[in-house]
Structures are given as C-alpha cells and as structure tokens.
Chains A and B, each alone.
Chain A
Amino acid sequence: MIKIENLRKRFGWLDALINVSMEIESGSITYLVGPNASGKTTLIKSILGLVKPTNGAIFLDGERLNGNFTYREKIGYMPQIASFPENLTVEEIVNMIKNLRENTKTYDYELIDKFNLQKEFKKRLKNLSGGTRQKVNACIAFLFNPQLLILDEPTAGLDPVSSSLLKDKIIKEHNNGKTIIFTSHILSELEELAEQVVFLLEGQIRFNGTINKLINSTEKQNLERAIASIMTGN
C-alpha cells in the first residue's frame, strides 16, 4: 500500500530522516518504534503530506505524493497531541470533520459508543480533560472507515480501560483488512498488537521485519530487550 524510496528530510542542519526506504503491505499492522527524536513522527507526517521531503519519494497505492491532497481520503490520522478550536463543542468538531470529508458516506461510530463520548458532545473542547480530547481524537481517526490508519502514540494519555478499548478496536480493524501504522516509545505497551516492527534510530531504519525475526535474531525474550540490544550494539 505504501512504498517509500530513499526518503530524506532535513530541518536546517539536522537530519530527521536519512535514506529511509520501506514498504508497507495492504492489510498489515506496523509498529514504528524508536526513542524520542528518532524520526517516527517525521516519517508519519511525510506520509500525510504535512512534512515535505527534502529528497526521495513516497507512493500510496502507486500514486506519488507530490502536494496532492485527495489521497488523504483513505487515511485516518490520530496525532500525538490533540488540539481543537477551543470554543467549539465536541459535536460541532465531529460534524465539522464529517462535513469536510463529504465523500465518505458510511461512518463508524463504534469507538464513540464504547468511550461513551455522547455525554460529552455538548461540552466545549476547552473544558475537556487531556484524556477526553485524546478520545475525541481517536474517534475522529476511526470515524471514516479509512483503509489506512495512522496512530501516533495512540494510548498516551488514556486510562487503562480506554487504552484497552482502543487496542481492541485496532485489532478489530486489522482483522477487517485495514492497514495500520502506529508508534510508541513505550515498547512493551503495544507489543501485543505488533506484527511488523520498524525500528528507527537517529533517522535511519535499523530493523525492519516481523517481531519474531527480531526476537530470534537478537536471542532476547521480548521486544524491549531485543530493541535495547540493537541500540547498544550487542
């Protein structure tokens, strides 16, 4: 579904991504891991067209991304920080995004029901807690039945109950054939969801393969230790 070729991004003097090449197949679930400032969010934002690559190309379903915007109809994105116009209510923001994505006709309200978000619908966004905003954020990403879900630190800021509800939803959508990319810097947290692991360090891909391959190749018991052994080089 996604093909990235020699992607490079510089911010001033800083290389955020260096020659990143990878492919993500349709229907796969990819766990993008790496320490802080390793380029995870930059990579995600390049796919969304929010960051313009310095070099290289990204293809989505064979279409090269080059300032076009219609391809984003296929994507549901849950950013790391959720921020909305302060004076709008939850209901208004949901309706607004629906209104802006008028080509989608079938909506997925499952997450809104599970989070019991209807009771917050009349509240203004500035009066909501960080966790509730994050829930709104998640609901908007899933609302349009997108083929590709990009979730940047999806469980950060959520309580354990909501976090497991969200994980269940991710697994369900994966079983429905959706392509999913998600990130986290807390390795153990989302290990259960991962199939493919892409490990980024200082803007470069250090490992790309299945989770079993990673654990076998490093001879460690779990993902966290396997990644740690790559980072320390033994």
Chain B
Amino acid sequence: MKILFKIILYQIHDISRSRWILFYTVFYLILTYGLIQFSNDQSKIILSLLNVALMIIPLVSIIFGTVYLYNNKDYIILILSQPIKRNILYLGLYLGLVIPLVLSFFIGTLIPLVFLSRDILFQIPLLFLFITGLFQTSIFVSVSFLIATWNDNKILGLGLSIFAWLLFSVLYDGLLLLMINVFQNYPLEKALIGFSILNPVDLARILVTLKLDVAALMGYTGAVFQKFFNTNLGTGISIFSLTAWTIIPLIIGKAKFSRKDF
C-alpha cells in the first residue's frame, strides 16, 4: 500500500508539470467563464457543461492514457526492475493519471463558478456533473490502459483509442437510431435500455439528465430510460453500470499487464 501511494505521488508530480494538463485546466476555465457570461439560466449552464464534458473528457482521457503508457515504456521497465509488484505499478500509474485529470476538470469548472455564480454550487445537478466527470475520466483512462497494454504497436493503439471514442461518443447513438428505424414495428424499449448500459457516455448523460428533467432533449436512450425507471432507480442503475465500466477494463488490463513481456 505504501509503495502504491508513493508511485501515485510521483506520477501526479510528473503529470502536474506537463503542459497538457495546464491547457486542459485552462480550457475548462474559459469554457465555464464563457457559459456564465452567455446565460443566466443555471440548468442551461450545467447542461452545456455536460455536453462539452461528455465529448472532451473521454477524448482527452483516452488519448492521454494511451500516449502516456506508450511513452513511458522504458520508465515502466525501470520501475519493474526494482522490487515492485506489477499489479501495484499498474494501479499506481492508473490512479496517478486519473487523479490529476479529474482535479483539473474540477478546478477548471469550479473556479469561475465560485467567483461568478455562487448559488449554482448548491444545485444537485452540478454534483452529478462532477460525478459524471469523475466516471468519464476513470472509465476512459481504464479503457486506454487496456488498449495500450494489449498491443505494443503505438499507431494501432492510438487508432483504436480514437475509434473507441468515436464509437461511444458519436456512432453509438446513430447506430441505435438506425436500428430503431429498421425495427420500428417491434417493441424496442427494453432492448434500448440494455444498449444504453453498454455505452458509458450514454450512461453518464442519463445520470445528469434524469436530474435535470430534460431527458427527452438528450437523445433517444435518455428518454427511454426516464420513461422506464423512476429517477432513483435510474440513478442507481447508471451509477452501478458506470462503476462496472471502470472496474472491468481495469481488471482485464491489470491481468494482461501482469503477464506481459517487456
């Protein structure tokens, strides 16, 4: 445990000096500041933040995670030639990347809100926006680590990462709509709930929109989810599924990492 903690600390130390993490924080600062200037409607601000966060967080997390693991291969070899367990190193690298990414999202969004729109801080949807940010980062870093551990080809790994992001963020809802269109004579609602659990981005969207009462505006899957579950059950199911989405790739990746040749 002590070793794990040390590895995490050194990772945070290293990443916090990287220019990219600074850009990432500044991006949220500007975005939130801009949104507050444009609108007085608090739920609109949260909704816009959510929409941007649902595109940007997965993209940045998955790319950053893949590149990070590939670029630090020799460093990983250096650490693994010390008396350190592979599982511990994998977890250390993972948490050492997730924590700074999440913190930079939190700090970037919170600072303008604290100064300019203080009463929004006590809104429950904002809490859920942060939970969403936490989950999106954990899930997509976890997936990126799995991709980068699975194959050693950097180009292929990056390609897979971008494809995974595109699939979950853009293509998935499109494919669902296509399916609904093709099978419109059949009752599809239950199947759709199943399909939206299979997509972490949809799940996160549902989590916040259930709190905002605008589910119908947020894609078909959101609307179905709200229709079938009352808010509490829906929230419970989506949090459970998001947790599974974080842990399952992490466990598979860790197992791959333990058996990998360096």
* A contact residues vs B (CB 8 Å cutoff): 11, 45, 48-52, 67, 69-73, 75, 77, 79, 81-88, 92, 96-97, 99-101, 103, 140
Contact = CB atoms under 8 A, between A and B. Distances in A.
Interface in B228-262: 258-262
17 contacts: A45-B262, A48-B80, A50-B77, A52-B260, A69-B84, A81-B74, A83-B72, A83-B73, A85-B72, A87-B14, A87-B17, A88-B10, A97-B78, A100-B84, A101-B83, A103-B83, A140-B78
Given A70-B83, A100-B7, 9 more contacts: A67-B258, A69-B83, A71-B83, A77-B81, A79-B77, A87-B18, A88-B13, A99-B6, A100-B84
Interface in B75-95: 75, 77-86
Contacts of B261: 11, 45, 50-52
B81 A84 contact: no
A97 B79 CA distance: 8
Interface bracket on B: 20 to 34
Nearest to B6: A99
Interface in B2-35: 3, 6-7, 10-11, 13-15, 17-18
A11 B152 CA distance: 13
Interface in B39-77: 72-75, 77
Contact of B6 (A49, A75, A100, A140): A100
Nearest to A141: B81
Interface of B: 3, 6-7, 10-11, 13-15, 17-18, 72-75, 77-86, 258-262
Contact of A97 (B17, B77, B82, B260): B82
A79 B78 contact: yes
A16 B14 CA distance: 35
Contacts of A97: 78, 82
For the complex of A and B, 7 pairs with smallest distance between CB atoms: A83-B74, A87-B17, A77-B81, A85-B14, A72-B83, A50-B262, A51-B261
A84 B259 contact: no
B13 to A, nearest CB: 7
A143 to B, nearest CB: 11
Contacts of B260: 52
Nearest to B79: A100
B13 A92 contact: yes
A101 B78 contact: no
A82 B72 CA distance: 11
B202 to A, nearest CB: 36
Contacts of A73: 83
Contacts of A77: 81
Nearest to B74: A83
Nearest to A84: B75
A69 B15 CA distance: 27
